[in-house]
């Protein structure tokens, strides 16, 4: 029996096709939200954060946390486990995570032209044409970034990614279903010993990738009949030590026979490989209008294995928090526009779990009293000893971990 993967975008009328196809096949439908929910359950990564793996906008903290890569590793693991069932319809972004070697999956893309999609949006959701166009462009941007990251294909509808590219605005639902079912009967997409082995290889590589992610590592993983190859795509100062650590972790995964390591095309770039340390703060937002000071502070924290992003005014900080919540914020009080006290007040109203450390050269005892009353974690004066600031950030992070554990 063949499996079917279906990729589409908003307002391409994919839902009736998936529903009818499932009824005819009698198989399981695995959508993005199903796989995300299961991946969140086994990883501990919140669903809303895992869903960001599909977004065009990558977290400013991701280069420190590897949260997107860890999310994808768990999504692959859940998907690989599901693929052991051959009566399966996989619908959504996750369909692109299926390796091409698993050739008993019929890869289908449902598309429609823009005027048709706008018309559907207006009819189904009561949107204006401008609102519909904006929503469609946002959804398509997410898909373009997704396929570009996975396959270096900026066009998510590129025919080379699929077995069938079906225009839902030009074919009726019954015609589409019959076309897909006819293709599923083709000998080329039937399960074979080779394709079932490819599922096993995918599952093992996903298990290795998750094991590495649990230890803070992010490398490429491929598996073939128990032989695992790990690809390092960032420059490493002590390559041999990293290779030994990666092999040690991978070799502990049941089913792994041998582990090889190699460097990939990105190895000689200037970006440095960083293992994610789960015990260190990696989502610190520094807010200060003194650019040279705050940039230097960011570099000094990085030297202590703390990842940070920088905002130079209150407005930018509030926007960043709205889009990408940090764990700890280091906040100056005197800034042009929205001052630090107002930023603190708004953050505690909208994102109370963010711990805020005030760091100022101009504050008074009255300011300190106000800030602590508004929920600041600590109040420090410039110039501050970097070790004292580091310990304060670590303490704030520990408080967050304690409270999240209790919940």
- Kindly list the domain boundaries of the chain, sorted by start residue: 3-189, 215-263, 284-406
Confidence band, pLDDT 50/70/90 cuts, at residue 280? confident
Residue 29: CA count within 13 A, CB half-sphere: 19
**CATH 3.40.50.300, domain 3-189, yes or no:** yes
Task: Give the β-pairing of 220-224 and 227-232.
Answer: antiparallel
- Between 236 and 225, whose confidence is greater? 225
Q: Does the pLDDT value for residue 32 go beyond 70?
A: yes
pLDDT digits (tens, 9 = 90+) for 309-360: 999 999 999 999 988 889 999 999 999 999 999 999 999 999 999 999 999 9
Give the per-residue pLDDT at 407. Answer: 53
Alpha-carbon gap, residue 279 to 257, rounded angstroms:
31
Give the per-residue pLDDT at 63. Answer: 85
Determine the average pLDDT of the residues in 196-218.
Answer: 97
Q: Name, in order, each residue with C-beta under 8 angstroms of 114's C-beta and a sequence gap of 6 or more.
A: 133, 136
Instruction: Count Cβ atoms within 10 A of the Cβ of residue 71 and give its class: 0-12 exposed, 13-18 middle, 19 or more buried.
Output: buried
CATH number belonging to domain 284-406: 3.40.50.2300
Q: Does the pLDDT value for residue 367 go beyond 80?
A: yes
Give the per-residue pLDDT at 275. Answer: 75
Sheet of strand 28-31, all strands in order from the earlier edge strand to the far edge? 28-31, 88-91, 3-7, 105-111, 164-167
Q: Hey, how many other C-beta atoms are within 10 angstroms of the C-beta on 392?
A: 20
3-189 and 284-406 have identical folds: yes
Confidence band, pLDDT 50/70/90 cuts, at residue 362? confident
DSSP 3-state percent helix, strand, coil across the chain (nearest 5): 50, 15, 35
Instruction: Count Cβ atoms within 10 A of the Cβ of residue 128 and give its class: 0-12 exposed, 13-18 middle, 19 or more buried.
Output: exposed
Q: Does the pLDDT value for residue 86 go beyond 80?
A: no
Return the bridge partners of 223, or none: 228
Give the per-residue pLDDT at 267. Answer: 65
Structure tokens at 386: 């970097």
Return the bridge partners of 235, or none: 272
Task: Give the β-pairing of 328-331 and 284-287.
Answer: parallel
Structure tokens at 307: 């990842």
- Chain-wide mean pLDDT for the chain? 93
């Amino acid at each position: 029996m063949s499996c079917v993967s279906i990729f589409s975008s908003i307002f391409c009328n994919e839902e009736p096709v998936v529903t009818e196809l499932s009824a005819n096949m009698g198989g399981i439908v695995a959508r993005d939200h199903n796989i995300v929910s299961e991946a969140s359950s086994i990883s501990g990564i919140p669903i809303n954060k895992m869903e960001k793996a599909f977004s065009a906008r990558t977290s400013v903290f991701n280069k420190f946390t590897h949260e997107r890569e860890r999310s994808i590793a768990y999504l692959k693991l859940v998907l690989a486990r599901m693929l052991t069932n051959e009566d399966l319809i996989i619908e959504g972004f996750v369909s692109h995570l299926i390796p091409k070697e698993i050739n008993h999956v019929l890869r289908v893309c449902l598309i429609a032209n823009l005027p048709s999609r706008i018309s559907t949006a207006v009819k189904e959701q009561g949107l204006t044409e401008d609102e519909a166009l904006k929503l469609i462009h946002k959804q398509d941007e997410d898909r373009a970034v997704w396929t570009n990251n996975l396959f270096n294909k900026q066009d998510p509808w590129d025919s080379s990614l699929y077995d069938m590219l079906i225009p839902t605005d030009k074919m009726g639902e019954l015609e589409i279903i019959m076309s897909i079912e006819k293709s599923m009967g083709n000998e080329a997409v039937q399960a074979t010993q080779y394709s079932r082995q490819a599922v096993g290889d995918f599952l093992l590589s996903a298990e290795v990738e998750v094991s590495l992610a649990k230890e803070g590592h992010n490398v490429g993983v491929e598996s073939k009949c128990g032989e695992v190859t790990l690809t390092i795509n960032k420059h490493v100062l002590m390559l041999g030590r990293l290779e030994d650590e990666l092999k040690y972790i991978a070799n502990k995964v049941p089913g792994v026979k041998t582990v090889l390591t190699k460097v990939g095309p990105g190895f000689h770039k200037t970006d440095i490989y960083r293992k994610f340390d789960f015990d260190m703060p990696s989502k610190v937002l520094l807010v200060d209008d003194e650019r040279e000071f705050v940039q230097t502070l960011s570099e000094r924290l990085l030297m202590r294995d703390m990842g940070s992003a920088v905002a130079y005014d209150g407005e930018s900080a509030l926007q960043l928090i709205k889009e990408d919540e940090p764990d700890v914020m280091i906040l100056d009080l005197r800034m042009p526009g929205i001052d630090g006290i107002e930023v603190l007040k708004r953050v505690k109203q909208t994102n109370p779990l963010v711990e805020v450390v005030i760091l100022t050269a101009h504050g008074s005892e009255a300011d300190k009293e106000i800030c602590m009353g508004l929920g600041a974690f600590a109040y420090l004066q410039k110039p501050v000893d970097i070790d004292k600031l580091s310990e304060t950030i670590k303490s704030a992070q520990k408080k967050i971990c304690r409270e999240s554990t209790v919940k």
